[in-house]
Structures are given as structure tokens and as C-alpha cells.
Amino acid sequence: MRLAPTFNVAYRALRRNKMRSVLTALGIIIGVGAVIAMVGIGNGAKAQVEAQIASLGENVILIFSGSTTSSGIRTGWGGAGTLKIEDAEAIRREVPGVIAVSEEVVSTTQVAAGNQNWFTRIYGESADYLDIRQWPLVDGAPFTAQDVRSANKVCVIGRTTATQIYGNENPIGQILRIKNVPFTILGVLTPKGLSPQGVDQDDIVVMPYTSAMKRVIGGTTLRNINVQIGDASQVEAAQQQIISLLRQRHNIRPGRDDDFTVRTQQEIAEAATATSRVMTVLLGAIAGVSLLVGGIGIMNIMLVSVTERTREIGVRMAVGARGNDILTQFLIEAVTLSSVGGVIGIICGIAASRILSIYANWPTLISISSIAIAFLFSAAVGVFFGFYPARKAAALDPIEALRYE
Amino acid sequence: MNNDALVRLVEVHKIYRTGEMEVPAVRSVSLEIRRGEFVALMGASGSGKSTLMNILGCLDRPSSGQYFLDNADVSDLDRNQLADIRNRKLGFVFQNFNLLPRTSARENAELPLVYSAQHLSRPQLRERADRVLASVGLAGREDHYPSQLSGGQQQRVAIARALINEPEMLLADEPTGNLDSRTSVEIMAIFQQLNEHGITIIMVTHEQDIAAYAQRNVAMRDGLIRDDHLVTRRSDAKNQLQHLSASTL
């Protein structure tokens, strides 16, 4: 069979019933558009979470004081102070592959300067912390290992804290009173925005952990230890070594639970992205239902079309069209409807997700693969829902079809 | 085997089943039609002539018996093979023309070539359609839609469509049924002219004076052939047309 005239016939048949074709394609347009936009939103959320997890640093292992269960009491991460400064030093000394370690203590408190004050989070860290988290300063200098050893009264602050206390003034070199202890501000951190949990990551004061423990928070135990491993392939081995090292140091007999929790960055990332993945699938599935409804619309219109054109089918068969020729003709018509609808739907979907990201400030991410899948899927909808009507047309008896009124 | 026989039916039966009932439409028909014959198939409605025509046109298969077309047994071919035979060897002309609406005369005439003639280029296709349309007197109307043509002109387009693949045999089912008497004569003139050029024609009709344009009349009743004779006083359509023009002048 010659294909060019067949496409021509399909095109003219669709154009003849313009309104009908447009409405049928609209079903597919809405379906594909919804799939593109919804998957875009889901992927955008997932990408955002992944970026934030990645901002924890590369190849990072987090060790939290306390464990999910400790002697029958469930304390939560960082709950019971079981990690000592010496533990961190032991890790630094004994675990191979470790390139950076940061002891961490955390508290919230009121800070003040001049006549302004602000309630913020205080992070006590080692000098490696900003490197591990890949968190550069926009201005000023970080505190040094010397500052950590001497427990100097220095700190760097986040953008939010800086604006709340100093407004438009440059905070570097200014004195910030934390629990009435004067700290000199050395630098301002690059803004990071909200965390996946919705916490403003720029509302922060970072200082040497020694200073935090001695002058602000008190106590002798760490909330957690951040460890960075040089090579991704060593992370798992290092995780095991840290566990056995800490069990040994904490005199935990075999069979007893750990009094600390070790998580790699990857484990955290998987947990965090699982939610957004579920969301993506759900959104996509709901949008997929509308695509399905669009497909049923195509099937409906094709059945009407086959009935209307029964005589034409009879004539074509009489002059030598095989069943397959008729089948192909109607399939082409259905697939044309669905793939034109698919292309327009893709454009609408991209537009919709752009609008959402601009006006609703939702992160959206449209990948080439999701566009390709949406297009193939819409074409497949045409084949799937066009097949039954097309086969019905192909199976017509030419004598009956010619006699049809 | 007689090589002159284009059509040879041997003991052909066609039985329709409606529920428990068996209705014989064609009963034991044996018929030979030679190459180049012009046969009128006659009979009242229900006589079985339409069923026989469907079998002859390879639109239907006999329930039993054999049908040799061009010395090849076509009684047991499947749907696709029958479609190919219709495409290459047969041309159909219907009572109600059966042209595709909103499709130009040229594209209607080209229709059989859509399903064959892959080797022809688009201009060749067009050239061939225009030539056939001109041969039935429709030069200059190639781009008209059926709705812009008179009944006689529509039937000419249908004849052009039937002829485009240079078939062995033209099958016409009441070709003048929807036409006035003068146009009927015009169509018969085309048929007679085609027949003179060697094409075999089988025409179903119930009108005695239309049957008179054929060489041979075959009459059916109750599924059987009751009469088969050569036309002695054959009408000459071309001659009649000349007389008609003369009388109107």
C-alpha cells in the first residue's frame, strides 16, 4: 500500500471534523500535559532534596550520639551524650581514608549586638566543617584550627542571622554577644535556603566547638561527629571500622546495642528522596488516568468514524484494499490524533510547570526522558485505543459495507 | 480446458444461514463467459443474480462448486488473495456510483492504485488517472468533487476508477439504475465501446431495453439459470445517441 495517500486520507478525515478532532485531541493534550507537569513537579522536589542532601558534603559519614534503642530506652539521635571529643580524635587517628572530621555540638540561644537581638542556632564545629559541607563564605575568613585549639571567641554567621542583627551593615569584625560572651564575627556564610524539613539553614552561628562547649553550651559530650572519607569506595569499610572502633572505646560487649548511630550520606539521601519519589509516582499515576480517559475518547471517536465511513471502507475493499490496508489507515488516523495531542500536551505541560515554578515558586524539573516517554506513551495510546476500531473496520464484509446506508 | 473462457463456474451453490434455516440463493449454477463477451445478467429481485454477481466479483465465495477466473481456481482463496484479484483483474461499477465524497474525480479514479502500483510515481499516477478520465469524456473535470458532478458524470468517474488498473473484466451492478434514459444510453455507449476494445463486461440489470445493449442475456430465477441466449436485435448506443442529437436539433 502507498503510505503518502494514506496519511493524506487520515489528515483530511481529521480536518473534515475539525471540532471533533480538536476535542478528542484535547483529551490527550490534557493527559500528556498533566503527566509532564506532575512528573516535573515531583522530579523538581526530588532534585531539590537531593541537592540539599548533597550539600551535607561528599562521602560524609554522620555519627550520632545515642541510638534508636539504648538499654531499652529509645533516646533518638543525639539524645544521650555518649560521644566524647576523644572518640572523634580516635577516628581521625585510626580509621583509614578519613580526610576530615568535625566534632559537632548544637544549641539554640538568644544572640545580641547593639540594640538588636535574635534567637538562633549555635553550631560548634571543627575548622574542617565548612570544607566538609562545601559551604564557602561570601565575605570574611573562616575560623582556624588554632582558634579551635584555643577556644577563641570567634564565629561565622549565616545570612539570615546577619540581616536580622545588622540589617544592611557589614557584620564582619563586629562583636556578637552570645550568652553575654562577646564573639568576633569573622565571616558571613553563603546562603543555602530552606532544608528539606523547612528549616532556614542560614539562620545560624558557627563557632569552634571548643568555644561552644566551654563558653556557650556547656557539657562535655558531642551531639554528633561528621566524618569525610577521601574516596567513595572506602565509605562502607570506614563505616564498619568506625562502628567497631566506637564499640571498643565504649566497652560495648558483643550482643549489646550500640550507644551511637552511624549513617552514611547515601542512606540519608535514600530515605529523604523516597518520599519525593513516591510523590512523583503518585502524581504521575493520577495524571496518567487522565491520559487513559483521553485514550478512551480516541477509541470512541474512531468507532464513530468507522461507522460513518462504512461505505467508504466497502468501496476501498471492492477496489482491492486488504484488511491490513484498512487497519493501517484507521490506526494512522488514531495515532495522528494522539501524537499531535501528545506534542501539544508536552508544550502545555512544560508551560504549566514553568508557570508553577515562577508564580508558585515550586521547583520543577522536566527531563528529556520524561518528554520522550510522554510522547511515546501518547503514540502508544493511539495504537492501543485505535486498534479495536481499526480492526473492526478491517473485519467488515465488503458486501455488507457497500450496502450500508 | 477452454482457454477462451475467462469465467467458468462449475456447480456453484451459495447458501445463507439465518438461524436454523438454510436459504439457498444460488443453486447449482454452471456458466462460461468467454473473453470479450458482454453479458447482461437478468432476473427479478431475489432471483440470486446479486449473489452470483458478488461471487463473480470475488466479493464472496461460493458455498460449494468451483469458480475459475482466467483459468485459475479462485473459489478457495482467502480474503487477502481475493482483494488482490479484485484489484488487478476486476473493475466494479455500482448503481449508486459509490464514489468517495469530498474527494476529487482524479483521486477517486486513482483509488485502486493506492493498493497496488507501488512503482508508479505521483506524476505518473496522476497522468494515468487523467488519461482514463479523458477516455470516459471527463477531461477538464479532474478536480471536481462528486457533489459538483451530474449523475452520469459520477458514473463515468466510477467507470474510470474501474478501468484504471486495466482489468480483465468489468462488473456493473445496475449501472443505469439511478440515471435518466438519455444518460443511460451514454453509459451504454461507453460500455459498448470498451467492449469493442476487448474488455469483458458482466452487467446486472432488470431492464429489458438495457439488457439489449449486451451480446448475451442470462436470466435467473430462484437461484437457477433459466435462460441463456444471444441477443439477436442488439441496440447500438452510439447510433441512438446520434439520432437523439439529430432529433433535438
Domain spans of chain A, in order of start: 3-52+271-403, 83-249
State the pLDDT at residue B212.
95
State whether B87 and A319 contact (CB < 8 Å). Answer: yes
**Least trusted range by pLDDT, from A136-145, A265-274, A276-285:** A265-274
Tell me the residue type at B218: V
State whether A399 and B60 contact (CB < 8 Å). Answer: yes
pLDDT of A197 above 90: no
Q: Which cell goes with B176?
A: 443505469
pLDDT digits (tens, 9 = 90+) for B231-245: 999 999 999 998 888
Q: Which cell goes with A88?
A: 572523634
Cα separation, A373 vs A287, in Å, equals: 14
- B134, B195, B206: which is closest to B168 by C-alpha? B195
State whether B80 and A314 contact (CB < 8 Å). Answer: no
Q: Is A336 exposed, middle or buried (0-12, 13-18, 19+ CB in 10 A)?
A: buried
List the CATH number of the domain containing B25.
Answer: 3.40.50.300
Considering only alpha carbons, which residue of chain A is nearest residue B53? A399
CA distances from A258 to A65, A237, A243 (A): 10, 18, 8
State the pLDDT at residue A314.
95
State the pLDDT at residue A16.
85
State the pLDDT at residue A29.
94
- When scoring B114, B132, B154 by the number of chain A Cβ atoms within 10 A, the one with the most, hence best to mutate, is B114
State whether A319 and B92 contact (CB < 8 Å). Answer: yes
Give B1's pLDDT tier (boundaries 50, 70, 90): very low
State the pLDDT at residue A70.
46
* Long-range pairs, A82-88, Cβ under 8 A, ≥24: A82/A221, A82/A250, A82/A259, A82/A260, A83/A221, A83/A222, A83/A223, A83/A224, A83/A225, A83/A246, A83/A260, A84/A220, A84/A221, A84/A222, A85/A220, A85/A222, A86/A249, A87/A63, A87/A222, A87/A225, A87/A246, A87/A249, A88/A222, A88/A225
Cα separation, B211 vs B40, in Å, equals: 5
State whether A318 and B115 contact (CB < 8 Å). Answer: no
Q: A67-84: b or e for each residue (b if 16 or more CB lie within 10 Å)?
A: beebeeeebebbbbbbbb
Chain B environment of A323 (Cβ under 8 Å): 79-80, 83
Residue B7 phi/psi, 5-degree rounding, is: -120, 130
More confidently predicted of B125 and B3 = B125
What H or E segment, with its residue span, contains residue A225?
Answer: strand A224-229
Cα separation, A316 vs A313, in Å, equals: 5
The answer to whether A368 touches A336, Cβ cutoff 8 Å, is: no
* Verdict on whether the full-model pTM lies above 0.80: no
Choose the most confident range, by mean pLDDT, from A3-7, A35-39, B122-126, B162-166: B162-166
Q: Which cell goes with B76?
A: 478457495
pLDDT of A37 above 60: yes
What domain count does chain B have? Answer: 1
**Locate cell 432476473: which residue?**
B43
How many beta-carbon pairs under 8 angstroms link A with B? 67
State the pLDDT at residue A156.
95
Chain B environment of A318 (Cβ under 8 Å): 57, 59, 86, 92, 98
Q: Is A18 exposed, middle or buried (0-12, 13-18, 19+ CB in 10 A)?
A: exposed
More confidently predicted of A111 and A69 = A111
**Least trusted range by pLDDT, from A350-364, B65-79, B135-149:** A350-364
**Residues 6+ positions from A3 with CB-CB distance below 8 Å:** none
What H or E segment, with its residue span, contains residue B65?
Answer: strand B64-69
Chain A environment of B107 (Cβ under 8 Å): 5
State the pLDDT at residue B117.
66
More confidently predicted of A263 and B192 = B192
The shortest C-alpha distance from A15 to chain B (Å) reads 12
The answer to whether A382 touches A328, Cβ cutoff 8 Å, is: no
State the pLDDT at residue A367.
84
pLDDT digits (tens, 9 = 90+) for B185-228: 999 999 999 999 999 999 999 999 999 999 999 999 999 999 99
Tell me the residue type at B43: G
Cα separation, A125 vs B247, in Å, equals: 119
Cα separation, A253 vs A241, in Å, equals: 16
Give B23's pLDDT tier (boundaries 50, 70, 90): confident
The shortest C-alpha distance from B81 to chain A (Å) reads 8
pLDDT of A232 above 50: yes
**Least trusted range by pLDDT, from A244-248, A266-270, B84-88:** A266-270
**Residues 6+ positions from A363 with CB-CB distance below 8 Å:** A44, A45, A47, A48, A357
**Cα dihedral A392, A395, A400, A403 in deg (nearest 10):** 60
State whether B115 and A316 contact (CB < 8 Å). Answer: yes
- When scoring A309, A316, A319 by the number of chain B Cβ atoms within 10 A, the one with the most, hence best to mutate, is A319
**Locate cell 493511539: which residue?**
A382
CA distances from A146 to A187, A211, A275, A338 (A): 16, 12, 42, 68
When pLDDT is averaged across residues A342-369 and rounded to a whole number, the result is: 89
Whether the CA torsion A302, A306, A312, A315 is positive or negative: it is positive
- A270, A390, A364, A400: which is closest to A6 by C-alpha? A390
- B34, B150, B169, B148: which is closest to B93 by C-alpha? B169
pLDDT of A116 above 70: yes
| 3 state DSSP class of B212 | coil
What percentage of residues in chain B have a pLDDT greater than 90? 82
Cα separation, B38 vs B196, in Å, equals: 9
What percentage of residues in chain A have a pLDDT greater than 90? 55
Q: Which cell goes with A268?
A: 540519608
The answer to whether A111 touches A163, Cβ cutoff 8 Å, is: no
Structural domain harbouring B234: 5-248
pLDDT digits (tens, 9 = 90+) for A65-109: 876 554 555 555 545 678 889 999 999 999 998 999 999 999 999
**Locate cell 500536551: which residue?**
A345
